């Protein structure tokens, strides 16, 4: 496992404010790791609403199935996250393990098991011994405090090289509300120890339906427009919690997604998701370059997305970026294999604003030396203009380095 | 570029017999490489029929478009293949270059340009200077001989570490007929210098329609069931030529694909395709393990294929194999992301015959040491039993090593 912090880690870490109604605590339960925390308990005041989006895997983990089934209640009192074991592909044991964890948490918190939300990340296929939470969770309810955000973000890490947090404040009506978020990854799309998990907390008084709408719309161009290696986890989980505590400061209760007062909040909520998902790309396993793929001139946005994903998931494009090679031939290949409308003779391709190909051939003004210099940057934008229509889309990824192979080839052993 | 021969190269190279009606010659035209041959001319006697299958890329190379347009004629007198430059993404210049190459060849051979077939492999986006063929092709018509099969297979190599040939004889009616084949790759699915090209030659008297049927049916479970890195080339080309010379020895002329006399020939033809496509997998860039993915118990064969491809293209599965790690959790992940019918709790997974997971959880009888030993083998079979239906399928691939990243990250520079 790599221990050095990714060179793409954001230089500044924000001060995380408290969110009224949320208390956090972490512990080292010895699930897999030694000498580090591996359990996070978030305590949520009564009246907290919840929303979630999950992996589309046909083989989801037991905690994903647990959360999906509890979402319709719309209320949450506790979130329990463990790292080290994904509780995925664990058969009946896995289901029993989620039930037991929720029971232990519900007893400690004094709530119904249906108000307990769970997420696990780590090795697949190993039974998760939920009895390890016994005692630990009860103790955490005692020690939970409203700060601890960085500790929380650290407790949920697996192959991550840095904790990922984001925060923002925004007006809802005339009251200030706060949104805090944390994520772990190394991919949305990822190894068995690097599932993407993300948790968003706000004191805004939002109904569960509103929160679900915000989340569903928000992930489309953030977490769903992110790929590390094309491998979708069994455990991807994004949960949002709204305590409603800001109502005490005059924040209006919002129960319709179309409420115009939600406009500024929606924008900032989306920015938090974008911020966290970019941090996940910046911590892609072995990543040395953050890569933004922009496809424009497509016939439709889904078509642009599919082509952008084809480029972003191409091992040949990703290794070329790692080699600082503006290899537009591989970009053409990836456009061609996407199966979406494309006309070779209308294609233009740029790297970091320098056009290397236009109208289906090498750009005559293209200067190899200039491009080679540009490819040394830590962030590379690949822009493809299809010249067919007006739709565009954008996907984030990272390069494919030998380090990725080392991390994933030497991992379990 | 790697120069060491793949450790997975077949230990024995067959003696390649002549095919009556086929003469071969190679030359060093200096297209890109120094000190090696880079042009192959195959001369085909009058009456030779031709069939072909090509990349499904939406951005195909100029030679692919040339061949597609000439296939309906059904006749071939010459095949010109060059390595070093793919003549792909070269705009109008590319088209002009194929026309000029065919004109030079037609003049040298004394045939119509519509009987000339072309294939190019190498860098994408660089104009191919077809005037380099002037003189060279005329000279090759003088030096062409019926042997030279290994030289031919060498002249079409790019990142290949060994030439790939296969041969077989079979009875057609009461006459013996021969099938010779050659391929180059490093993937069906591959870098800009490692397009899959394959050429099959036989003296059997088959109509172009019969040959096309054989090819189309034959690639389904051979070349189309092969993946190195999920990247489809702009230039993949598989052409088959039947000189009909065996008619002189009494071989019957076959003009219907349903002709019962074709049965044994069909089987051997398919074996040649399987042999060559396996050699391509064995020469996957950086490959240290040949990987066979078998999916059984699927609802349909296309569903089994899609799941097998999802496993075979997963960077996480491929790096695990490189690390000799029987990481069934990643196989579950790849099954889940395929989007095809799958029931986690019915899944069983084996590596080289050792079952590591059954009924959606770790196999209780699974012995880590035994599996670790098995994972050291140069050939790894991953078998997934879905437990849903009776359909099965099989895909070949290789592992993903640091060497792959080195080859593709340092390539153009």
For residue A231, give the chain B residue with the closest CA: B314
pLDDT at residue A327 greater than cutoff 80:
yes
Question: Nearest CA to A284 among A225, A324, A222, A228?
Answer: A228
For residue B408, give the chain A residue with the closest CA: A319
Active site residues of A: 195
Please give the pLDDT value at position B57: 83
Please give the pLDDT value at position B188: 36
pLDDT at residue A152 greater than cutoff 60:
yes
Residues B321-370: pLDDT tens digits?
A: 999 999 888 898 899 889 899 988 899 999 999 999 998 888 988 888 99
In terms of average pLDDT, the best of A361-370, B222-231, B265-274 is B265-274
pLDDT at residue B189 greater than cutoff 50:
no
- Residue A93 has φ and ψ, to the nearest 5°, of -55, -40
Confidence of residue B2 (pLDDT cuts 50, 70, 90): very low
Q: For residue B291, what are the β-bridge partners?
A: B380, B397
Q: What is the average pLDDT score of chain A?
A: 91
Tell me the C-alpha to C-alpha distance, in Å, between residue B204 and each of A64, A173, B173, B200, B208: 59, 83, 10, 12, 11
Cα dihedral A220→B336→A126→A82 (10° resolution): 10
Q: Which of B40-54, B87-101, B201-215 has the lowest mean pLDDT?
A: B87-101
Domains and CATH numbers, chain B: 22-282 (3.60.70.12), 290-409 (3.10.20.340)
The stretch A221-238 carries a mean pLDDT of 82
Provide, as residue numbers in chain A, all residues whose Cβ is less than 8 Å from the Cβ of B313.
230
**Residue among B91, B192, B332 minimizing CB distance to A89:** B332
pLDDT at residue A129 greater than cutoff 60:
yes
Confidence of residue B137 (pLDDT cuts 50, 70, 90): very high
Is B350's Cβ below 8 Å from some Cβ in A?
Answer: no
Predicted ipTM > 0.95 = no
The span from the CA of A392 to the CA of A346, in Å, is 16
- Which helix (DSSP H) or strand (DSSP E) does residue A117 occupy? strand A116-123
Provide the angle, in degrees to the nearest 10, between the axes of the packed helices B263-282 and B208-220.
50
The stretch B366-377 carries a mean pLDDT of 92
pLDDT at residue A132 greater than cutoff 80:
yes
CB pairs under 8 A between A and B: 251
- Which of A314, A368, A409 is best to mutate for the B interface (most B CBs within 10 A)? A409
Chain B nearest C-alpha distance from A412 (Å): 7
Look up residue B43 and give its two tokens.
């001369």
Confidence of residue B261 (pLDDT cuts 50, 70, 90): very high
pLDDT at residue B15 greater than cutoff 50:
yes
**B 178-207 → A contacts, CB under 8 A:** 190-192
Provide, as residue numbers in chain B, all residues whose Cβ is less than 8 Å from the Cβ of A92.
345, 361
Please give the pLDDT value at position B271: 96
Confidence of residue B226 (pLDDT cuts 50, 70, 90): confident
The stretch A247-275 carries a mean pLDDT of 97
How much of chain A, in percent, has pLDDT values that exceed 70? 96
Question: Nearest CA to B305 among B289, B319, B317, B293?
Answer: B293
Would the pTM of this model clear 0.95, i.e. be above it? no
Question: Order of strands across the sheet with B49-54?
Answer: B49-54, B237-242, B197-202, B175-184, B164-172
Chain B nearest C-alpha distance from A114 (Å): 24
Provide, as residue numbers in chain A, all residues whose Cβ is less than 8 Å from the Cβ of B96.
none
Provide, as residue numbers in chain B, all residues whose Cβ is less than 8 Å from the Cβ of A64.
none
**Residue among A313, A337, A412 minimizing CB distance to B57:** A337
Please give the pLDDT value at position A185: 82
List Cβ neighbours of B369 (8 Å cut-off, separation of 6 or more). none
Q: Which of A71-75, B88-92, B93-97 has the lowest mean pLDDT?
A: B88-92
Q: Do A319 and B409 touch (CB under 8 A)?
A: yes
Answer for the pair B244, B291: CB distance below 8 angstroms, yes or no: no
Please give the angle made by the CA atoms of B254, B259 and B264, to the nearest 5 degrees.
90
Residues B277-289: pLDDT tens digits?
A: 999 889 888 889 9
Residues B117-129: pLDDT tens digits?
A: 999 998 888 889 9
Q: Do A329 and B125 touch (CB under 8 A)?
A: yes
The span from the CA of A159 to the CA of B141, in Å, is 60
Please give the pLDDT value at position B193: 39
Is A324's Cβ below 8 Å from some Cβ in B?
Answer: yes
List Cβ neighbours of A401 (8 Å cut-off, separation of 6 or more). A286, A287, A288, A322, B405, B409
**B379-385 and B290-298 as β-strands: parallel, antiparallel, unpaired?**
parallel
Q: Do A337 and B231 touch (CB under 8 A)?
A: yes
pLDDT at residue A17 greater than cutoff 60:
yes
Confidence of residue B45 (pLDDT cuts 50, 70, 90): very high
The span from the CA of B399 to the CA of B393, in Å, is 19
Q: Which of B107-111, B172-176, B315-319 has the lowest mean pLDDT?
A: B315-319
């Amino acid at each position: 496992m790599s221990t050095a912090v990714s060179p793409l880690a954001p230089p500044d870490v924000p001060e995380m404010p408290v969110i009224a109604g949320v208390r956090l605590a972490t512990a080292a339960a010895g699930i897999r790791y030694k000498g580090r925390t591996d359990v996070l308990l978030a305590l949520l005041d009564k009246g907290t609403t919840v929303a979630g989006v999950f992996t589309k895997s046909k083989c989801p983990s037991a905690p994903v199935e647990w959360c999906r089934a509890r979402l319709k209640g719309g209320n949450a009192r506790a979130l329990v996250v463990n790292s080290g074991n994904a509780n995925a592909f664990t058969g009946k044991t896995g289901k029993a393990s989620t039930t037991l964890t929720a029971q232990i948490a519900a007893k400690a918190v004094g709530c119904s098991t249906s108000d307990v939300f769970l997420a696990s990340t780590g090795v697949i296929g190993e039974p998760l011994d939920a009895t390890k939470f016994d005692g630990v969770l009860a103790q955490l309810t005692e020690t939970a405090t409203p700060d601890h955000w960085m500790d929380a973000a650290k407790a949920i890490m697996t192959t991550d090289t840095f904790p990922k947090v984001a925060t923002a404040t925004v007006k809802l009506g005339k009251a200030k509300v706060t949104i805090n978020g944390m994520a772990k990854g190394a991919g949305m799309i990822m190894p068995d120890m690097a599932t993407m998990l993300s948790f968003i907390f706000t004191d805004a008084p939002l109904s569960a339906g509103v929160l679900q709408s915000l989340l569903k719309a928000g992930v489309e161009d953030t977490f769903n427009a992110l790929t590390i290696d094309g491998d979708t986890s069994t455990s991807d989980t994004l949960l949002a919690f709204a305590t409603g505590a800001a109502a005490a400061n005059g924040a209006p209760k919002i129960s319709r997604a179309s409420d115009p007062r939600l406009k500024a909040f929606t924008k900032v909520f989306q920015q938090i998701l974008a911020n966290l998902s970019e941090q996940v790309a910046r911590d892609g396993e072995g990543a040395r370059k953050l890569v933004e793929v922009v496809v424009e001139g497509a016939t439709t946005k889904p078509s642009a997305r599919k082509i952008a994903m084809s480029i972003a998931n191409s091992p040949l494009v990703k290794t070329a970026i790692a080699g600082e090679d503006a290899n537009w031939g591989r970009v053409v290949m990836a456009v061609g294999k996407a199966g979406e409308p494309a006309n070779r003779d209308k294609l233009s391709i740029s790297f970091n604003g320098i056009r290397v190909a236009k109208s289906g051939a090498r750009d005559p003004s293209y200067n190899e030396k200039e491009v080679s210099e540009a490819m040394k940057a830590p962030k590379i934008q690949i822009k493809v203009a299809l010249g067919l229509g007006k739709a565009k889309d954008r996907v984030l990824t990272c390069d494919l380095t030998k380090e990725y192979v080392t991390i994933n080839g030497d991992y379990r052993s």
